[in-house]
Amino acid sequence: MADKKQLGLAVVGCGVVGRMRAELARDFPGIGWIGLSDVNEKVMNKLGEDIDADFITNDFRELIKRPEVDAVIIATSTWAHVEPTLAAVEQGHMLFIEKPLATDARESAQVLAAIEAAGVDAVVGYTQRFRRRFLVVKERIQTGQIGDFTAAVVRAFMNRMAPTGETRLTQDRRFLSPMVVSGTHSLDMAFWLMGDAGDPVSVYAKSTDKILKDDLGVKDATFGLFHMADGSMFSMNICWALPKVWPGAVYGLEIGIVGTEGVIDIEDTHRDVILASENPQGPAYQPDGLVIEAERPVDFLTSFPPGDTHRGELWGPMREETNNWFQRIYNKKDTPHATAAEGHRNLMLTMAMDLSAKTGKEIKLPISPDELMAGLEA
């Protein structure tokens, strides 16, 4: 069999996640060319040196238009995905986009429409789908082992490092809510596990802002209840305002799913491997330019969502997710990645929760992006 042509990869955004994925790309035999782009030249140049990148530029458009490029990873800040994504779609490139597609529902719809019109293969980064425990649960549900879905509940606890990191690079924090930025992961997990049963017709939610409002300008927590077309329901809540000394690196989840013939109960708070040390090394999540003052002598190990480092290499769900995407684009493998349509759905549902919390009213679903944003901007 003739040797396959190696692919050219553009990585737009060279921060924590962009670096992880670029380092994995360097080691994948089907990637033969890697280009990088970031507005932070220091971060970009360092990553370029570390992986021996073939091309670097602070102009993502220049990178995306390079003739060597076949696929693009969008790993910019949460609020800066739209322009590079549309530029990549225009060139017809395969895409891996960190969530969300946008922080404005209208822009998210625009991105999805462009992706579907161009017919490009685009996935969205929901890394936790690639953890073994959730893959096992998905398999058991889709093979009918708990019967038909009737109810689900998700609780997510996070310390303040996530909102601190998310808000440090922008002053427009209107839509950087705990649901849009972080709750979207647990919402995606629940709807992925529910499958076809996840057909919401309404949502009612409440938020609180006693802790982070003055310092960061964001909400502390959001609790919500979805009703489905078949009468089943899904309750979820997220609080990302726990103290910085909270031992979980980022996420602590509890998920319960009840079916007509069984139940699945998932304890994912990472309290099974605990480190207590008189020589703490600091938090796992430490983006360039972000200083976390708190020392944490106790840590819940394995609680950093991308995975853990051993001998300078990342091991865990982000490694699985990224390498599976390389298999997807190089060997055309079917993978459990979130699609662009699912990514847009997740944004719409998280923002609908925010709208309900703002208005104090139940929101009927589906809702149009224009109506959703008009309500949030009012």
> pLDDT of the chain along its 378 residues, tens only?
357 889 999 999 999 999 999 999 999 999 999 999 999 999 999 999 999 999 999 999 999 999 999 999 999 988 899 999 999 999 999 999 999 999 999 999 999 999 999 999 999 999 999 999 999 999 999 999 999 999 999 999 998 887 877 776 665 667 778 888 888 999 999 999 999 999 999 999 999 999 998 888 889 999 999 999 999 999 999 999 998 888 888 889 999 999 999 999 999 999 999 999 998 766 665 656 666 667 788 999 999 899 998 998 999 999 999 999 999 999 999 999 999 999 999 999 999 999 999 999 999 999 999 999 999 999
HEC assignment per residue over 118-154: HCCCEEEECHHHHCHHHHHHHHHHHCCCCCCEEEEEE
Question: pTM for the full model?
Answer: 0.94
Distance separating alpha carbons of residues 180 and 376, to the nearest angstrom:
13
Q: Are 202 and 362 in contact (CB under 8 A)?
A: yes
Bridge partners for 157 per DSSP: 239, 252
For residue 18, give the amino acid letter. G
Q: What is the predicted pLDDT for the residue at 93?
A: 98
What is the torsion angle, in degrees rounded to the nearest 10, for the CA atoms of residue 288, residue 293, residue 294 and residue 297? 70
What number of other Cβ atoms are within 10 A of residue 15's Cβ? Answer: 22
What domains can be seen in the chain, in order of their start residue?
7-126+321-339 (3.40.50.720), 129-305 (3.30.360.10)
Closest CA to 178 of 158, 193, 198: 158
For residue 235, give the amino acid letter. S
Helix, strand and coil in the chain, % to nearest 5: 40, 25, 35
* Total number of residues shown for the chain: 378
> Judging by DSSP bridges, how do beta strands 200-208 and 363-364 pair with one another?
antiparallel
Q: Are 146 and 262 in contact (CB under 8 A)?
A: yes
Distance separating alpha carbons of residues 359 and 356, to the nearest angstrom:
5
Distance separating alpha carbons of residues 31 and 11, to the nearest angstrom:
12
Phi/psi-derived region of residue 101, left when phi > 0, alpha when psi is between -120 and 50, beta in every other case: alpha
Q: What is the predicted pLDDT for the residue at 279?
A: 86
In order, the DSSP letters of 282-303 are --S---TT-------SEEETT-
Distance separating alpha carbons of residues 297 and 146, to the nearest angstrom:
41
